[in-house]
Structure 1
Amino acid sequence: MNPQTELRVRTLSIHVVTWNVASAAPPPDLSDLLQLHNLNLHLDVYVVGLQEMNCGIMSLLSDTAFEDPWSSFFMDVLSPLSFVKVSSVRMQGLLLLIFAKYQHLPFIQILSTKSTPTGLFGYWGNKGGVNIFLKFYGYYVSIINCHLPPHMANNDQRLEHFDRILEMQNFEAQDIPNILDHDLILWFGDMNFRIEDFGLHFVRESIKNQCYSDLWEKDQLSIAKRHDPLLREFQEGPLLFPPTYKFDKNSNNYDTR
């Protein structure tokens, strides 16, 4: 290499959004969710995963004929910022969208999309996962948005659905590596893991005093990761925010009903 040549390497920045929208229509403004006013961010890719989109028969028929309202909303917001929708996949109430800055488009190859229903013994898509497999600058990337079973007592079922989704992501007849051999796996969604043992009063007080570390020890996903070697391979960001389930609707009040 010529000693006068300057090698410039910039890390690509990906913003991942997951949101159970509970059949609601897009709100007027999602600037905070998309970090549009954060001048310190220089984002290259948006990955948006929604759960519980309106999947009534009339809504599904309309969305088949036209772009669904959420996809249209995100495109309207992100297109003026030079983002282009590069892929999407939907299964009933689950939707996964990928937007990238236009200059990255020549380096993105969509390899496959896949839907894995796990509701009603694998026949119904109210629960399960939707996936997009791509090559990004030569790296194999898997992006998975999932919705796992709810309720405190169904922790084993959540883990079974996780395993089922993972098991279905291999492509024998295509030139795509085993999902666990991908360079990057982004797995997110409404996983429905809960906080065990602690009473509601203790949880509320911990949230009020921002003592989130007291709740980590009884987080079902954290417990599962301590016992499951495969789950330990996934890295979760620091839990510096209150539990996301469940707040009173349209409020910042935690579970008063």
Structure 2
Amino acid sequence: MTDVTSLLHLNSPKSPDLYVIGLQEVYSGPLRFMSDMAFDDPWSHLFMSTLAPLGYIKVSSIRMQGLLLLFFSKVDHVPFIRDIQATYTRTGIFHYWGNKGGVSIRLSFYGHMLCFLNCHLAAHMKYATERVDEFEYILDMQTFDSRKAPGILDHRLIFWFGDLNFRIEDHGMHFVRSCINNTTYNLLWSKDQLTMMKKKEPLLQEFEEGALDFQPTYKFDLNSDTYDSSGKKRKPAWTDRILWRMRPRTSPQDEEYPLKICQDMYTSNMEYSISDHKPVVGTFTLELRKMYTSPLVRLQPEGDWSADIDAMVLYSPLQPFPSSTWDWIGLYKVGFTSMSDYITYTWVKDDEVSLNDELIQVTARVPMPLGG
């Protein structure tokens, strides 16, 4: 592993409210993959241990073989994040193998439906059309249990990113490397496959992207800043991308609660060399009007809390919401790193959740460690 301080721009004067981190080609050998399914993988541990001391919580994550997607939020925003769902789609061999495909996390952020889609699409120069087909297949296959946004394209704002594998056509190796050395990247843009495909694919035209004003991120010799020096001499390309799509305003609610986005930065980070790709970073400012300003539930500890007696909590719903037999209340230590880091939890009976002035009592028994 490595220090991710620079990658996450932790020394910036203003810290982000959210971090969304997508990785591809995470090692997924059978033994490691089974271990990662039972426990958090090393990359998740690295990001959690780095961000938790700064007040961030891992709200959700999803893993499909080598694809990993992590969503972190500052603690203050967590009560206003709802409707969290995650899913995946395989596009590998016969749509069965998960070495290629997409993983997504969708959620409501202060009432605005957001979706984050991390993809690893088909490789090689000649498969540009197949990459678009895979993207459309992922959009068609991923559905959510939601009336407001049952599909990816129904979300108010979508971020689409990952190793999309689009290459630079026509130009020879010498010209491409010359443009890189002279930082005349604009001479390569017209032959970037994603840029070319956007001209003839209406769906792709709905997605925006910042200028590719950084050197291509693929393909490097490991542990170096040297482009492929092997016998294959693969041509550099912007395979790693971040795009976004704002859904057109379709309802009075969109007018009443506007959402705007501005990209502040789009660049690659050349100092990381543990992969044959260089990571790409994008920072965005979201300007939104909150659809709600209070959390769903008010919690109040009752009496003195001690490790040797049951803990009692009083809670009261502040807003109407669809309750479920899956509702639960968790107890967390101060400084917890993830939503799954609860010490203990208790189920909430479905008929206990109602919007009234009544305080509802929940007793949680804290498991004690055994001496050894």
TM bucket normalised to smaller: 0.7 to 0.9
CA RMSD of aligned residues (A): 1.2
Q: Which amino acid aligns with 2:30?
A: I
For the residues of structure 2 that align with 1:183 and 1:248, how far apart are their CA atoms? 40
For the residues of structure 2 that align with 1:94 and 1:176, how far apart are their CA atoms? 27
What are the residue-to-residue correspondences of 1:1-257 with 2, within 5 Å? 26-27=1-2, 29-39=3-13, 41-171=14-144, 174-177=146-149, 178-257=151-230
For the residues of structure 2 that align with 1:219 and 1:250, how far apart are their CA atoms? 26
Q: Which amino acid aligns with 2:31?
A: M
Question: Is the 2:148–2:154 contact (alpha carbons within 8 Å) kept by the matching residues of 1?
Answer: no
Identify unmatched segments of 5+ residues in structure 2. 231-372
Question: Is the 1:110–1:132 contact (alpha carbons within 8 Å) kept by the matching residues of 2?
Answer: no
Q: What SS does structure 1 have at the residue aligned with 2:44? A: helix
1:212-256: CA deviations, max 9, x gaps?
000100000000111111101101011110111112221112233
Matched residues, number: 229
Q: What SS does structure 2 have at the residue aligned with 1:170? A: coil
Q: What SS does structure 1 have at the residue aligned with 2:98? A: strand
1:5-55: CA deviations, max 9, x gaps?
xxxxxxxxxxxxxxxxxxxxx22x11111001122x331000000101111
Alignment TM-score, normalising by the size of structure 2: 0.60
Task: State the 4+ residue runs in structure 1 displaced beyond 2 angstroms.
Answer: 173-176, 254-257
For the residues of structure 1 that align with 2:42 and 2:84, how far apart are their CA atoms? 26
Question: Is the 2:23–2:67 contact (alpha carbons within 8 Å) kept by the matching residues of 1?
Answer: yes
Question: Is the 2:102–2:117 contact (alpha carbons within 8 Å) kept by the matching residues of 1?
Answer: yes
Please tell me whether Structure 1 or Structure 2 has the larger radius of gyration of its CA atoms. 2
Greater share of helix = 1
Identity of aligned residues (%): 54
For the residues of structure 2 that align with 1:254 and 1:238, how far apart are their CA atoms? 22
Identify unmatched segments of 5+ residues in structure 1. 1-25
